[in-house]
C-alpha cells in the first residue's frame, strides 16, 4: 500500500517539478560570483563557490610552488590558497589588495582563490556567454569558460578543481 | 591448546556469530520479498542474493568448523541453485521450509557456545532431505513429494495453513521447532523486530562503521584545541591583571598628601582595585574550568581511543602463511614462533604496520636466513627460527620484535652498496660506528641482494618500513651480529596520541618539530663548528653530528644569517632511527600539544612538511617532517655531486629512448611484454628465441635484455652466459623472466650472470618496469 502511495506521490511530484522548472527556466541562467583581479574582472559559477571570506592570517608553506600563497584556518579545517595571478601568468597590475578568499569546491577538492574585491552575485542568460578570446595564453585558455558582454571572464572552477597543475603531490 | 590460541578461537567464533547473523538477516529479508513476488525481473536478483548469502554463510561456518550449519546451508544452497538456474520453479509452498531453515540457522548460530542449541541433528537432516526432494523433483516427475506439492497446490485456496501442517508433521513433539514454525508463519511482522534484538543482547556488541568511530575520534581530538585555547585566554587575563597592578602602583606613587586630587586618586585606586580583583577571580575560575576540562577531554579521548583498539593477533595472523610460502619458494625451512598476539593497539597503527611487518618477514627469509647447506656448514640447525614477540616495554610503549637466527647483516656488502649508490661518502663511512652503518639499510636505494627478485633487492623496502613506522610515531632499531642473526625492534605508542611538538621560529615563521624526535636544545658558538669534508659538524657527546640551517633545508630565505653567526646561535639536536643532526633555528618558542591536520586537499604532499597544527589563537603552524630533513641534508652536503648527476640525466634524455631487446618464444607473452615496456617509454625489439636475440645483439646496440628462460634453440640461461662471455656485451643488463619460481633456477640465473629474475605472474604489478628503470 505504502509503496503504491509513494509511487503516486512521487509521480505527482515529478509532474509538478517539470512544470515549475519550465516556467522559470533556470537551466538557461548562469548564476555567478564576480570578483576582480586588478584590473580585470573575473567570475566563478555559484555552484562551485562554497563561501567567500576576508583573509586575516595566511601561513606560507615552504616547498610549495609560488602560486600557492599559503594556508588559512577555516573553522578548524586547513585549506590552501591559490594566487590565480601567478598561476595563470597574468601581468601583475601594480598594487593590489588580494585579501578576499573565494573558496571553491566540488566535494572532493577544496581550495581558496585570492581576489582583490568581490563584485557580487548575479544571473545572466547562458546564451549571452561569449566565446573566450583566441589570444589567451595556454593555462588561461584551459580554464576560461567564456566571457560576458561587460568583459568579465568566467572561469571554469570545476576544471581547476580537478586539474593536475593545481594539485601538489611532491 | 594454549590459552592464547583458545582465546583466538573464541574471538573467531564471536566474529562468525556477528557475520552469520547478518547473512541470516539478509536471507530472511530476501525470502520475505520473494514470497510476495517471485515472477518479476527484480526477483531474479533477489534469488541470486539469497543464494550468495547462503553460500557465504556456508563458507564461514566451514571455516569455524560448524558442521551442522554448513550441512544445512549446503542443501539450502542447492535448492536456490536450482531455482536460480530455472531447474525448479519457486513454489509458494516452499517458503515455510525456507523460513524454518532460516530459524534453525539462527538458533544454531546463537547456540554456538552452548551445549544444547535446541536444534537436533535429526531435525536438520530431515530438513535437508526435504530440500533434496525439492531439487530432485525437477527431474523425475513421479516423486512422492512432487505429488504432495501438487495436491497442496490444489487444497491451498481452501485451507491457507495447510502447507505448514503438512510439511512439518513430526514437529509438534519438539517445542523449539514448533515455536519456530509459528514465527515462520507470522513472518513479516514478528520476524524482523525480534531477530536483531535477540542477537544484539546476546553478543552485547554493536557493529559501527569504523569511519564513524574515526569521526568521533577526530571530534574528541579536536577538543584538545579547547585546552590550548583556554590556556591562551588565561594567559591573556594574566597580563590584563598585571597591567592593572602596574597601573595601581603608579597611581599610588602619585598619591602624596599635598595633591589636591587626592580624593580623586583614592576613588580611582579603589575602582582599579575592584576591577583587578574581578579579573583575578575570573582568571581563577577559568583556571578551575581548564583543569576540569582537561580531565574530561582526556577521559573522553581515552574512551574513544579504546574503542579503536584491536589485538595484534589480527595482524599477526597473516604471518604463518607468508612464512610458509616464502620459505618454500626460497627452499628454506623456517619455524615461526609468535608471542603476545593478545596485546591491544590502535587499529590505525595495526593497519599501518601491515606492510612493514610483511616486508620485514620477507627480508628475514630472503636475506636473513642462509640456505640449508650454509646453515649446516655453520654448525646451525638447518631449520631457521623466526620469532615475533609483542610486549610492553618499560615506558608503557609496545614493542614488536622480529628476530631471526640467520646470517646477520654483512657490513662490507652494506658499505659497498652505500658507496656505489652515493648514499654516503667514504670519509663519512670511516667515521661511523658499526651500529650506525647497520642503520644505513633504512636509506633508500640500498640493497645487499646480488640479484633483484620480485620480493627483494630493489632497496626501497627498508626505507619505506622506516617511513611508515615514523608516521605512526614509532621508532625502529636494529641489532645484528654476523652469523648469529638480526633483530628488528619496533617501538610503538599504544594509541595515536595527539601531536606534541617543539615550537620554533625560523626567519619570522613558526614551525613545529615532533617532540619525540628532538633530543636536546643547544646554544652554539661559531668556533664550535667543524668542517668535515664538505659538511659542517659539531661535537655532540662522543659523536660528530651534521649541522644545517633549518631555513636552508626548508629553502626559505633567512636574513638573520650574519647576526647569529657572531653572537652564537640556537640549535636543536634531532634524531631519527639512531641518526642525529643539529638544526640551526632562530628561537625556541616552547612546547605545544595539538592535533595533526592535513594541509588541505590541494596540498597532498609537500616536501619536508608532514601537516600542520593549530595554536590556541587559531594560527596554523606547519609540522616539519624530520625524516625528509635527513635526506635533504645529505643531498645538500654533496651539492656539486647532485648538480653533476642532473647534467648526466639531461644528456641521456637527449639521446632518445633507451632500447630494449625482448626474447620470448610465446607470441602472446611477447606482445604483452612489448606493450608493457613500450608504454613505459622504451623502444623495443623482439626476438623469438635466444639464438635470434644473440644475433640482434651483435648487430645492434641495446641498453638491456629481457629474456624468457625456456626457449627453443638457445634458452635464457645460455643466452645470458653468451652475453657475459662476449667482450662487447659483457656489461649489458639481463633480466630473466620466467613462469618458474624455483630457488634452483634463480641460482642458475645468477650463475649465468643475470641481473634480475622476475616471475611472470607478477608482470602486471609493473615490477618489470621498475626493475628496468633501476638497471639502466
* A164 and B CB contact within 8 Å: no
Q: Residue B72 region, left (φ>0) first, then alpha (ψ -120 to 50), else beta?
A: alpha
* Contact call for A80 and B603, based on CB within 8 A: yes
A64: closest chain B residue by CA: B606
Closest CA to B416 of B389, B446, B436, B386: B446
Is the pLDDT at B365 greater than 80? The verdict is yes
Give A117: exposed, middle or buried? Use CB within 10 Å, 0-12, 13-18, 19+.
Answer: middle
Q: Are B342 and B4 in contact (CB under 8 A)?
A: yes
Which pLDDT score, from 0 to 100, does residue B386 have? 92
Min mean pLDDT across A79-88, B356-365, B491-500 is at B491-500
Give helix B224-254 / helix B262-307 axis angle, nearest 10°.
170
Can you tell me the mean pLDDT for B67-87? 86
Q: Do A61 and B609 touch (CB under 8 A)?
A: yes
pLDDT at residue B705 greater than cutoff 90: yes
Section B88-114 average pLDDT: 83
A80 interface with B at CB cutoff 8 Å: yes
Residue B64 clears pLDDT 60, i.e. is over it: yes
A67-81, A101-115, A132-146, B754-768: range with lowest mean pLDDT: B754-768
pLDDT number for residue B447: 60
pLDDT higher than 60, residue B389: yes
Cross-chain Cβ contact A73/B620 below 8 Å: yes
Mean pLDDT on A53-63? 86
Residues near B772 by beta carbon (within 8 Å), at least 6 away in sequence: B660, B677, B680, B682, B704, B706, B735
Rg (CA), chain B: 36
Tell me how crowded residue B713 is: count the other CB atoms within 10 A of its CB: 14
For A81, residues 6+ apart whose C-beta sits below 8 A from its C-beta are A55, A58, A68, A69, A70, A71, A72, A101, A111, A112, A113, A114
A134 to chain B, closest Cα gap in Å: 30
What's the pLDDT at B204? 65
Q: Any idea which of A61-75, B251-265, B352-366, B554-568 has the lowest mean pLDDT?
A: B554-568
Q: Quote the mean pLDDT of chain A.
A: 83
CATH architecture classification, A28-166? Beta Barrel (2.40)
Tell whether A109 is within 8 A of chain B (Cβ): yes
- Give me the residues paired with residue B575 across strands: B580
pLDDT at B426: 80
- Kindly report the nearest CA distance between residue B416 and chain A, in angstroms: 30
Of A91-100, B42-51, B551-560, least confident by mean pLDDT is A91-100
Q: Which of A16-25, A53-62, B749-758 is most confident?
A: A53-62
Give the rounded percent of residues in chain A with a pLDDT score beyond 90. Answer: 27
Q: In what order do the strands lie in the sheet with B383-392?
A: B333-339, B383-392, B398-404, B485-492, B475-481
Contact B608, B629 (CB under 8 A): yes
Confidence of residue B496 (pLDDT cuts 50, 70, 90): low
Q: Is the peptide bond before B669 cis (omega within 30 degrees of 0)?
A: no
> Is the predicted pLDDT of residue B413 greater than 90, yes or no?
no
A63/B600 Cβ within 8 A? no
pLDDT band at B760 (very low <50, low <70, confident <90, very high): low
Is B605 part of the contact surface with chain A (CB cutoff 8 Å)?
Answer: yes
A103 touches chain B (CB under 8 A): no
Query: Residue B19: helix, strand or coil by DSSP?
Result: helix
Nearest CA in chain B to A112: B602
Higher pLDDT, A71 or B493: A71
pLDDT at A32: 93
pLDDT of B184 higher than 90? no
Computed from CA positions of residues B460, B465, B468, B469, in that sequence, does the dihedral angle turn out positive or negative? negative
Distance CA B562, CA B569 (A): 11
- Taking one residue from A and the other from B, the number of pairs with CB-CB distance under 8 angstroms is 84
How far apart, in whole angstroms, are the C-alpha atoms of residue A48 and residue A50? 6
Residues pairing with B592 in the sheet: B501
Nearest Cα of chain A lies from the Cα of B90 at a distance, in angstroms, of 24
**Cβ distance B636 to B552 under 8 Å?**
yes
Average pLDDT value for chain B: 76
C-alpha dihedral sign at B226, B231, B234, B236: negative
Cα of A161 to nearest chain B Cα, Å? 9
- Band of the pLDDT at B260, cuts 50, 70, 90? low
Confidence of residue B516 (pLDDT cuts 50, 70, 90): confident
Express each pLDDT in A119-152 by its tens digit.
989 988 888 888 887 777 777 788 898 898 888 9
Helix then strand then coil, % of chain B, to nearest 5: 55, 20, 25
User: Of A44, A105, A96, which Cα lies nearest the Cα of A77?
Assistant: A105
Report chain A residues whose CB lies below 8 A from the CB of B618.
Answer: 57, 73
Q: Which residues of A touch B608 (CB under 8 A)?
A: 62-63
Q: How confident is the model at residue B388 (pLDDT cuts 50, 70, 90)?
A: very high
Cβ B613 vs Cβ B558: under 8 Å: no
Test A62 with B609 for CB contact under 8 angstroms. Answer: yes
B503-517, B569-583, B588-602, B649-663: lowest mean pLDDT where? B649-663
pLDDT over 60 at A21, yes or no: no
Q: How far is CA B212 from CA B5, B561, B596, in A?
A: 31, 49, 19
pLDDT digits (tens, 9 = 90+) for B234-244: 888 888 888 88
A154 touches chain B (CB under 8 A): no
Burial class of residue B539 (count of CB atoms within 10 Å of its CB; 0-12, 13-18, 19+): exposed
Q: What confidence score (pLDDT) does residue B146 get?
A: 46
Closest CA to B659 of B685, B629, B635, B640: B685
- Chain B closest-CA separation from residue A57 CA (Å): 7
Residues of chain B with C-beta less than 8 angstroms from the C-beta of A62:
509, 554-556, 608-609, 622
Indicate the residue of A60, A64, A80 with minimum beta-carbon distance to B509: A60
The pLDDT of residue B137 is: 57
The backbone torsions φ and ψ at residue B295, rounded to the nearest 5 degrees and listed phi first, read -65, -50
Query: Which neighbouring-strand residues pair with B477?
Result: B489
Residues of chain B with pLDDT > 90, as a percent, come to: 6
Of A59, A167, A170, the CB nearest to B602: A167
**CA B474/CA B326 separation, integer angstroms:** 27
Record: contact B598-A78, CB cut-off 8 A: yes
Lowest average pLDDT, out of A125-129, B349-353, B418-422, goes to B418-422
Tell me the pairing of strands A68-74 and B333-339.
unpaired
Residue B583, C-beta contacts closer than 8 angstroms, at least 6 positions apart:
B513, B548, B549, B550, B553, B571, B572, B573, B574, B629
- Specify the pLDDT at position B156: 41
User: Do the Cβ atoms of B108 and B121 come closer than 8 Å?
Assistant: no
Of A61, A169, A170, the CB nearest to B599: A61
Which residue from B84, B53, B58, B59 is spatially nearest to B73, judged by alpha carbons?
A: B58
Distance from the Cα of B512 to chain A's closest Cα (Å) equals 12
Task: Using an 8 Å CB-CB cutoff, list chain A residues near B597.
Answer: 77-78
Q: Which of A67-76, B254-263, B369-378 has the lowest mean pLDDT?
A: B254-263
Between residues B420 and A110, which one has the greater pLDDT? A110
pLDDT (average), residues B58-85: 84
Going by pLDDT thresholds of 50, 70 and 90, the confidence category of residue B194 is very low
Mean pLDDT along residues B735-740: 76
Interface contact A76-B614, CB threshold 8 A: yes
Q: Is the pLDDT of residue B167 over 60?
A: no
Predicted confidence (pLDDT) at residue B258 exceeds the cutoff of 70? no
> Greater confidence, A1 or B510?
B510
- To the nearest whole Å, the CA of B571 is away from the closest chain A CA by 20
Q: B226 to chain A: nearest residue by CA?
A: A76
User: Beta strand pairing status for A77-82 and A68-74?
Assistant: antiparallel
Mean pLDDT of B44-67: 82
Asked whether the predicted pLDDT for residue B155 surpasses 80, the reply is no
Residue B647, pLDDT > 70, answer no
Reported confidence tier of residue A169, pLDDT bands at 50, 70, 90: confident
Query: How does DSSP assign B736-761, residue by residue?
Result: EEES---HHHHHHHHHHT-SEEEEGG
Give yes or no for a contact between B605 and B599, defined as CB atoms under 8 angstroms apart. no
Q: Please report how the helices B210-222 and B262-307 are oriented relative to each other, as an axis angle in degrees rounded to 10.
A: 160
Domain boundaries along the sequence of chain A: 28-166
- For residue B712, give the 3-state DSSP assignment: coil
Separation CA B548–CA B121 (nearest Å): 76
* Span B201-218, pLDDT tens digits: 444 667 777 778 877 877
State the smallest CA–CA distance between residue A81 and chain B in angstroms: 9
Is A110–B620 a contact, with Cβ atoms under 8 angstroms apart? no
pLDDT at B191: 38
Amino acid at each position: 500500500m505504502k509503496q503504491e502511495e509513494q509511487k503516486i506521490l512521487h509521480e505527482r511530484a515529478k509532474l509538478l517539478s517539470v512544470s515549475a522548472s519550465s516556467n522559470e527556466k533556470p537551466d538557461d541562467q548562469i548564476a555567478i560570483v564576480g570578483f576582480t583581479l586588478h584590473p580585470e574582472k573575473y567570475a566563478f559559477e555559484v555552484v562551485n563557490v562554497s563561501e567567500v571570506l576576508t583573509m586575516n592570517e595566511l601561513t606560507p608553506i615552504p616547498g610549495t610552488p609560488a602560486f600557492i600563497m599559503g594556508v588559512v584556518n577555516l573553522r578548524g579545517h586547513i585549506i590552501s590558497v591559490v594566487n590565480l595571478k601567478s598561476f595563470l601568468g597574468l601581468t601583475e597590475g601594480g598594487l593590489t589588495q588580494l585579501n578576499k578568499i573565494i573558496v571553491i569546491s566540488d566535494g572532493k577538492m577544496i581550495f581558496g582563490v585570492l581576489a582583490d574585491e568581490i563584485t557580487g552575485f548575479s544571473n545572466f542568460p547562458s546564451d549571452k556567454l561569449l566565446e573566450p578570446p583566441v589570444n589567451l595564453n595556454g593555462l588561461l585558455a584551459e580554464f576560461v569558460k567564456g566571457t560576458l558582454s561587460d568583459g568579465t571572464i568566467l572561469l571554469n572552477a570545476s576544471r581547476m578543481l580537478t586539474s593536475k597543475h593545481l594539485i601538489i603531490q611532491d | 591448546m594454549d590459552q592464547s590460541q583458545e582465546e583466538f578461537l573464541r574471538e573467531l567464533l564471536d566474529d562468525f556469530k556477528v557475520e552469520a547473523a547478518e547473512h541470516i538477516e539478509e536471507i530472511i529479508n530476501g525470502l520475505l520479498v520473494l514470497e510476495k513476488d517471485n515472477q518479476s525481473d527484480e526477483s531474479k536478483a533477489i534469488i541470486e542474493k539469497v543464494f550468495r548469502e547462503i553460500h557465504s554463510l556456508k563458507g564461514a561456518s566451514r571455516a569455524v568448523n560448524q558442521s551442522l550449519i554448513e550441512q544445512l546451508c549446503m542443501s539450502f544452497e542447492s535448492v536456490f541453485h536450482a531455482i536460480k538456474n530455472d531447474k525448479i520453479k519457486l513454489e509458494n509452498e516452499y517458503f515455510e521450509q525456507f523460513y524454518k531453515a532460516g530459524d534453525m540457522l539462527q538458533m544454531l548460530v546463537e547456540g554456538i557456545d552452548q551445549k544444547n542449541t535446541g536444534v537436533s541433528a535429526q531435525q536438520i537432516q530431515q530438513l535437508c532431505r526435504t530440500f533434496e526432494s525439492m531439487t530432485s523433483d525437477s527431474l523425475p516427475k513421479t516423486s512422492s513429494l512432487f505429488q504432495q506439492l501438487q495436491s497442496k497446490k490444489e487444497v491451498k485456496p481452501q485451507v491457507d495453513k495447510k502447507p505448514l501442517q503438512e510439511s512439518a508433521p513430526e514437529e509438534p513433539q519438539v517445542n523449539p521447532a514448533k515455536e519456530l514454525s509459528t514465527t515462520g508463519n507470522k513472518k513479516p511482522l514478528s520476524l524482523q523486530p525480534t531477530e536483531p534484538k535477540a542477537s544484539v543482547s546476546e553478543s552485547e556488541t554493536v557493529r559501527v562503521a569504523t569511519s564513524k568511530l574515526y569521526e568521533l575520534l577526530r571530534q574528541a581530538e579536536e577538543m584538545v584545541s579547547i585546552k590550548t585555547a583556554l590556556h591562551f585566554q588565561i594567559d591573556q587575563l594574566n597580563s590584563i591583571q598585571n597591567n592593572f597592578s602596574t597601573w595601581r602602583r603608579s597611581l599610588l606613587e602619585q598619591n602624596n598628601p599635598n595633591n589636591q586630587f587626592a580624593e580623586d586618586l583614592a576613588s580611582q585606586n579603589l575602582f582599579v582595585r575592584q576591577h583587578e580583583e574581578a579579573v583575578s577571580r575570573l582568571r581563577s575560575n577559568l583556571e578551575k574550568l581548564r583543569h576540569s576540562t582537561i580531565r574530561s577531554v582526556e577521559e573522553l579521548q581515552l574512551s574513544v581511543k579504546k574503542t579503536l583498539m584491536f589485538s595484534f593477533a589480527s595482524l599477526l595472523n597473516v604471518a604463518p602463511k607468508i612464512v610458509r610460502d616464502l620459505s618454500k619458494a626460497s627452499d628454506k625451512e623456517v619455524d615461526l614462533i609468535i608471542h603476545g598476539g593478545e596485546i591491544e593497539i590502535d587499529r590505525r597503527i595495526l593497519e599501518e604496520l601491515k606492510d612493514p611487518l610483511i616486508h620485514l618477514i620477507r627480508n628475514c627469509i630472503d636475506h636473513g636466513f642462509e640456505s640449508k647447506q650454509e646453515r649446516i656448514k655453520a654448525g646451525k640447525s638447518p631449520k631457521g627460527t623466526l620469532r615475533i614477540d609483542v610486549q610492553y616495554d618499560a615506558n608503557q610503549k609496545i614493542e614488536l620484535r622480529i628476530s631471526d637466527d640467520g646470517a646477520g647483516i654483512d657490513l662490507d656488502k652494506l658499505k659497498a652498496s652505500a658507496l656505489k649508490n652515493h648514499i654516503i661518502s667514504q670519509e663519512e663511512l670511516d667515521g661511523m660506528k658499526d651500529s650506525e652503518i647497520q642503520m644505513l639499510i633504512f636509506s633508500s636505494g640500498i640493497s645487499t641482494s646480488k640479484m633483484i627478485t620480485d620480493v627483494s633487492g630493489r632497496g626501497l623496502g627498508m626505507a619505506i618500513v622506516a617511513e611508515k613506522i615514523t608516521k605512526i610515531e614509532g621508532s625502529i632499531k636494529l641489532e645484528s651480529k654476523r652469523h648469529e642473526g638480526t633483530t628488528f625492534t619496533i617501538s610503538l605508542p599504544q594509541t595515536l596520541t595527539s601531536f606534541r611538538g617543539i615550537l620554533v621560529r625560523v626567519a619570522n615563521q613558526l614551525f613545529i618539530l615532533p617532540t619525540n624526535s628532538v633530543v636536546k636544545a643547544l646554544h652554539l658558538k661559531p668556533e664550535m663548528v667543524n668542517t668535515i669534508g664538505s659538511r659542517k659538524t659539531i661535537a655532540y657527546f662522543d659523536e660528530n653530528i651534521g649541522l644545517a640551517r633549518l631555513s636552508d633545508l626548508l629553502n626559505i630565505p633567512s636574513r638573520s644569517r650574519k647576526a647569529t653567526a657572531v653572537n652564537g646561535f640556537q640549535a636543536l639536536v634531532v634524531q631519527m632511527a639512531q641518526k642525529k643532526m643539529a638544526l640551526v633555528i632562530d628561537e625556541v618558542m616552547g612546547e605545544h600539544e595539538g592535533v595533526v591536520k592535513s594541509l588541505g586537499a590541494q596540498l597532498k604532499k609537500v616536501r619536508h612538511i608532514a601537516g600542520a597544527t593549530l595554536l590556541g589563537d587559531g594560527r596554523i603552524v606547519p609540522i616539519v617532517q624530520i625524516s625528509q630533513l635527513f635526506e635533504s641534508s645529505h643531498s645538500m652536503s654533496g651539492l656539486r655531486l647532485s648538480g653533476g648527476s642532473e647534467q648526466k640525466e639531461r644528456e641521456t634524455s637527449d639521446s632518445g629512448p633507451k632500447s630494449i631487446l625482448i626474447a620470448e618464444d610465446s607470441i602472446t607473452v611477447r606482445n604483452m611484454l612489448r606493450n608493457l615496456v613500450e608504454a613505459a617509454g622504451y623502444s623495443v625489439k623482439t626476438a623469438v628465441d635466444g639464438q635470434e636475440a644473440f644475433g640482434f645483439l651483435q648487430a645492434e646496440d641495446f641498453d638491456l635484455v629481457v629474456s624468457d628462460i625456456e626457449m627453443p634453440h638457445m634458452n635464457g640461461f645460455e643466452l645470458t652466459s653468451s652475453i657475459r662471455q662476449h667482450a662487447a656485451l659483457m656489461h649489458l643488463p639481463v633480466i630473466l623472466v620466467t613462469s618458474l619460481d624455483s630457488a634452483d633456477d634463480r641460482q642458475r640465473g645468477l650463475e649465468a650472470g643475470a641481473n634480475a629474475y622476475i616471475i611472470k605472474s607478477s608482470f602486471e604489478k609493473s615490477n618489470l618496469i621498475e626493475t628496468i628503470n633501476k638497471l639502466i
